[in-house]
Chains A and B, each alone.
Chain A
């Protein structure tokens, strides 16, 4: 494998990790808002119990993604920055609102409902905005003017591609977070919250598949190249569909202790489903970072830097893995935290 392929593979891992963690994080914020006022329901508590210790860690993954991208592909920055400065700055603005309001709501019991609305709504908008980056990198919405790439905003905003991507992003966020929270409720042995999140997952599940296919079909004429490429990578998408069926059906499997559904299996299978699909998409996207202006190879850093980056990532992963495991045991496993 060449340096640049290894680099883009690492970036893919980080993008994938953040899209899963971010979906669960933003989705949990959204569900916490939806169920906030409901008397006698613990659905909001479950979402908050997960969010309180984890949102900071999830947020670091976003920074990791950006920093890793700049580290591995510095030559892509001039081109990407002019494309992304507006949408990403809007994401940052919303993200700041969301995180701060979430912290404020933990400190001020009186305004908790209003504060949660802000963090819930922004939690829905952020993944939507983030996923618009994808159609932009596919070409067709980008024009070379005076040596600089510019987004054709009006063309983008009126394209069905964008809205198909948006629908797919939001459906995925809500589905992933519902499946995850069902599992978290199962771990907390909270039958009522489990029932709520399981129902949501059952409703939204097929929608993710539908919007996903729609996003591929609704691709604008200029981006037909990736549709062709995706057809070549059909095996990944077929596997993804298979894992979806398995994961979705796990919501009905017979669990231990008289629970309907095995949410842990559902979470794992659904994550594999997304891994397969995004790997297929990523492979189809290669060798381009931005079609047809920038390839992976053109954006790549030098060998010396690449080697020291790899060394850095290896050492720091070894250092952090035990901490992550301890964190997981304390907040996702320990019954004293899950059932106060």
Chain B
């Protein structure tokens, strides 16, 4: 691998690791708010127990999210100095504002966890709301920088010199709102389905007390309602994201769909392998006209194909598979969650075992969906780091000794992943929920 490939691998794997924790860090606070509010409204102490236990899990995950976020933040500056040179001149505002969202999250997280017993119930809710505001704010602002890389605005560039800078025009670039919404909604969805997975898993195990069953059912229902709504909203917003690609980044949409010929009534290709040599997609199921409709709400919308663009500017063609995976997982999650809710509503009976088994998969499915979505969005922007402005090779560091670092960091991530799972597992094993349900304490305790 040359040093650009190494820089991409090091940064990419760091991001892939970080977004697991970052996404859960966006999603879980919303679940905690929901539980806290339900506790205040229904005075059912089970919801207080949920909020407390989810906060424990969230605190452990945040312990990884914060240092891994620090890693990617600093690495971004070190591995992509060419990119940062332009960022610093045009789009440093979201990074800078993100710091303050980060502060908000860190301050209120400590307040919520370590001062809970000294706060009134509503102040506690206010604290966790600010944790959520900070977490979502961070995600939105970082996504803003990502959106700007796809649709750069707010400057003019000539001979590598940047002039006429309008920082706020860069912040409010055309893809900002759609992309930020997509990231936030899918984050909420992932947090909810992570909870749904655990609750379903617990409901499958034998030797439960009735109190415990009731507790997990409440948790599962809450997670399914939030997860279902968020997955549907993610899909609807995903539709406008695709239209945005059609307008601003046609080669990305073409690569996502494996479309070579520019055409009206363009078909939507599901599955299959995109072949660069023969310039066609092999083994795909094609729905006639659907891509045109998706791109412009009309079947006669002309969708640009890859043939319109020079081959050296093509994104890697495997992104079609990533895109398919993301869409497929998202759609499945909608079907599963609404299916389970519908069953519960119609039959008024506990969910059957097979359904619980499927629900166990929703958390991992959401996380895989998030990973494929991010990898798709970043890979399909290649060969550009800043779309049509800067190539990835021009953005990378000149430093040659990244190989050892890459191995060290992969080792770190594998180790942290294992220990984190172990710590979560052992913590909740040593502090089983039935112990907390029998000893009913209404207030929160800090540690």
Q: Interface on A for B, CB 8 Å cutoff?
A: 52-54, 56-57, 59-60, 62-64, 66-75, 77-82, 84-86, 88-89, 92-93, 95-100, 102-104, 106-108, 148, 301-302, 304-305, 308-309, 312-313, 316, 319-320, 323-324, 326-327, 330-331, 334, 336-337
The 8 A-B residue pairs with the shortest CB-CB distance in the complex, in nearest-first order: A74-B88, A103-B63, A53-B110, A71-B92, A81-B81, A56-B106, A316-B100, A96-B67
Q: Are A304 and B165 in contact (CB under 8 A)?
A: yes
With A78-B81, A99-B66, A308-B168 as known contacts, state yes or no: A331 contacts B114, CB within 8 Å: yes
A103 near B60: Cβ-Cβ < 8 Å? yes
CB <8 Å contact, B398 and A59: no
Nearest to B110 among chain A residues (CB) is A53
Say yes or no for B389: interface residue by CB 8 A criterion.
no
Q: B102: nearest residue on chain A (CB-CB)? A: A60
Q: Contacts A82-B399, A104-B423 given: A309-B78 contact, CB under 8 Å?
A: no
* A338 shortest CB reach to chain B, Å: 12
**CB-contact partner of A301 in B64, B89, B108, under 8 A:** B89
- B347 close to A (CB within 8 Å): no
Nearest Cβ in chain B — how far from A251, in angstroms?
A: 29
List 6 A–B pairs whose Cβ atoms lie within 8 Å, in order of A's numbering.
A53-B110, A66-B77, A74-B87, A100-B419, A305-B165, A337-B115
Instruction: Tell me whether B97 is interfacial, beta carbon within 8 Å.
Output: yes
Q: Mark B156-187, 1 if CB is under 8 A from A, else 0.
A: 00000010011110000000000000000000
Selected from B70, B73, B92, B106, the residue in CB contact (under 8 A) with A305 is B92
- Neighbour of B104 across the interface among A97, A104, A309, A320, CB < 8 A: A320
Using A57-B103, A62-B74, A108-B426 as known contacts, list a sample of 14 further A-B pairs with CB atoms less than 8 Å apart, ordered by residue number in A.
A53-B110, A53-B114, A60-B102, A63-B69, A63-B73, A73-B88, A89-B408, A89-B409, A97-B412, A99-B67, A308-B168, A309-B96, A330-B114, A337-B118
Flag if A107 contacts B88 (CB, 8 Å): no
Bound CA span A32–B39, Å: 37
**Chain A contacts for B59, CB-based, 8 A:** 103, 107
Question: Are A102 and B63 neighbours in the complex by a CB distance under 8 Å?
Answer: yes
B153 to chain A: closest CB distance in Å? 14
B237 at the interface (CB under 8 A from A): no
Q: Nearest chain A CB to B83's CB is how many angstroms away?
A: 9
CB nearest neighbor in B for A107:
B427
A108 to B99, CA, bound (A): 30
With A59-B70, A304-B166 in contact, do A93 and B409 touch (Cβ < 8 Å)? yes
- What residues of B have a CB within 8 angstroms of the CB of A319 in the complex? 100
Choose one: B88, B102, B402, B409; the contact of A85 (CB below 8 Å). Answer: B402
Contact of B84 among A70, A93, A95, A331 (CB under 8 A): A70
Pick the contact of B401: A64, A66, A86 (CB < 8 A).
A86
Question: Are A60 and B416 in contact, with the CB atoms below 8 A?
Answer: no
**Nearest Cβ distance between residue A284 and chain B, in whole angstroms?**
26
> Least Cβ distance of B331 to chain A in Å?
35
Q: Which of the residues A97, A98, A302 comes within 8 Å of B162, measured between beta carbons? A: A302
Instruction: Write the B181-209 contact mask toward A (1 if CB under 8 angstroms, else 0).
Output: 00000000000000000000000000000
Residue B328 lies at the interface, judged by CB distance under 8 Å to chain A: no
| Residues of chain B contacted by A53 (CB below 8 angstroms) | 110-111, 113-115
Q: Check B294 for interface membership: any CB of A closer than 8 A.
A: no
Q: A99-B63, A148-B398, A331-B110 are in contact. Are A309 and B165 (CB under 8 A)?
A: no
Q: Is the CB of B103 within 8 A of A312?
A: no
Contacts of B108 in A (CB 8 A): 323
Residue B273 is within 8 A (CB to CB) of chain A in the complex: no
A215 to B214, CA, bound (A): 66
Q: How far is the CA of A60 from the CA of B95 in the complex (A)?
A: 12
From known contacts A59-B67, A64-B99, infer whether A75 and B85 are also in contact, taking CB-CB under 8 Å: yes
Q: How far is the CA of A64 from the CA of B96 in the complex (A)?
A: 7
CB of B78 to closest CB in A, whole Å: 5
Cβ 8 A contact of B95, one of A71, A107, A148: A71
Q: Tell me the complex Cα distance, A188–B431, Å.
A: 30
* Alpha-carbon distance A70/B93, docked complex (angstroms): 11
* B416 contact from A77, A96, A323, Cβ within 8 A: A96
> What residues of chain A lie closer than 8 Å to B87, measured between beta carbons?
70, 74
Tell me how far the C-beta of A26 lies from the nearest C-beta in chain B, rounded to whole angstroms: 14
Docked complex Cα distance between A154 and B420 (Å):
37
| B residues near A301, Cβ cutoff 8 Å | 88-89, 92
Find A100's partner among B63, B74, B111 (CB 8 Å cutoff): B63
Interface: B109 (CB within 8 A): yes
Q: Residues of B contacting A334 with CB < 8 Å?
A: 115, 118
* Most B C-beta atoms less than 10 A away, residue of A71, A73, A334: A71
| Cβ-defined contact, A70 with B92, below 8 A | yes
Cβ-defined contact, B66 with A59, below 8 A: yes
Closest-by-CB residue of B relative to A75 is: B85
The complex places the Cα of A54 from the Cα of B113 at a distance, in Å, of 12
Tell me the complex Cα distance, A303–B426, Å.
54
